[in-house]
Chain A
Amino acid sequence: MGISQIIFYMLAAFTLLSALFVVFSKNPIYSVLWLILCFFSIAGHFVMLNAQFLAVVHIIVYSGAIMVLFLFTVMLLNLNSETEPHKPTLLKFAAVLSGGALFLIIIAAVRSTMPAPYVAPQLSEVGYVKNIGMKLYRDYTLPFEVASILFLSAMIGSVVLAKKERFN
Chain B
Amino acid sequence: MNTLIYTACLGLFGLLAEIFNLRKYLIPILVLGLAVIFSLNLQTWNNPQTHFNGMLSDSNFSTAFSGLALFIMLIILILSGDFYTSTDDEKHISDYMAILMFTLCGALMMFSFSNMAMLFLGIETLSISLYVMAGSRRFEVKSNEAGFKYFLMGSFASAFLLFGIALVFGVTGTFSIDGIGNYMRMHADKLDPLFIVGMLLMIFAMLFKVSAAPFHFWAPDVYEGAPSLITALMSTLVKIAAFAAFYRLLSTCFVFALGKAEIVLTVSCAATLLVGNLVALVQDNFKRLLAYSGISHAGYMLLAIISLQGRTDSALFLYSVGYAVASLAAFAIAITVFKATGTESISGFNGLAKKNPLLAASLTMAMLSLAGIPPFAGFFGKYFIFSEAFRNGWQNMVFVAIISSIIGVFYYMKVIVAMYSKPANEFEIKPTFAYQMVIAVCLIISIVLGLYPGVFTKLL
Residues of chain A whose beta carbon lies under 8 Å from any beta carbon of chain B: 105-106, 108-110, 112-114, 117-118, 120, 138-143, 146-147, 149-150, 152-154, 156-161, 165, 167-168
Inter-subunit contact A142/B197 (CB<8 Å): no
Q: How many A-B residue pairs have CB under 8 A?
A: 102
- For A162, the closest partner residue in chain B by CB is B138
- For A139, the closest partner residue in chain B by CB is B53
List B residues 345-364 near A (Cβ within 8 Å).
Answer: none
Inter-subunit contact A109/B194 (CB<8 Å): yes
Nearest CB of chain A from residue B180's CB, rounded to whole Å:
12
Considering the chains assembled together, what is the distance between the CA atoms of A103 and B411 in angstroms?
A: 41
Inter-subunit contact B136/A143 (CB<8 Å): no
Q: Is B55 an interface residue (CB 8 A)?
A: yes
Inter-subunit contact A167/B196 (CB<8 Å): no
16 A–B contacts, CB within 8 A, in A order = A105-B197, A109-B196, A117-B170, A117-B173, A139-B53, A146-B125, A153-B102, A153-B125, A154-B128, A156-B98, A157-B128, A157-B129, A160-B96, A160-B99, A161-B135, A168-B88
Chain A: interface secondary structure? Answer: helix
Which one of B53, B115, B192 lies within 8 Å of A117 (CB-CB)? B192
Inter-subunit contact A149/B105 (CB<8 Å): yes
Inter-subunit contact B129/A153 (CB<8 Å): yes
Which one of A118, A138, A146, A158 lies within 8 Å of B121 (CB-CB)? A146
Inter-subunit contact B193/A112 (CB<8 Å): yes
Residues of chain B whose beta carbon lies under 8 Å from any beta carbon of chain A: 4, 8, 11, 15, 51-53, 55-56, 87-88, 91-92, 95-96, 98-99, 102-103, 105-106, 109, 115, 117-118, 121, 124-125, 128-129, 131-132, 135-136, 138-139, 147, 170-173, 192-194, 196-197
Considering the chains assembled together, what is the distance between the CA atoms of A168 and B87 in angstroms?
A: 8
The winner among A139, A141, A146 for most chain B CB atoms within 10 A is A146
A146-B118, A161-B135 known; A118 vs B99 contact (CB < 8 Å): no
- For A110, the closest partner residue in chain B by CB is B194
Inter-subunit contact A117/B171 (CB<8 Å): yes
Considering the chains assembled together, what is the distance between the CA atoms of A159 and B91 in angstroms?
A: 13
Which chain A residues lie closer than 8 Å to B196 at the CB level? 109
Which chain A residues lie closer than 8 Å to B98 at the CB level? 153, 156
Considering the chains assembled together, what is the distance between the CA atoms of A142 and B57 in angstroms?
A: 12
Nearest CB of chain A from residue B25's CB, rounded to whole Å:
20
The winner among A110, A112, A113 for most chain B CB atoms within 10 A is A113
A139-B53, A161-B136 known; A118 vs B193 contact (CB < 8 Å): no
A147-B121, A160-B132 known; A113 vs B92 contact (CB < 8 Å): no
Inter-subunit contact A143/B55 (CB<8 Å): yes
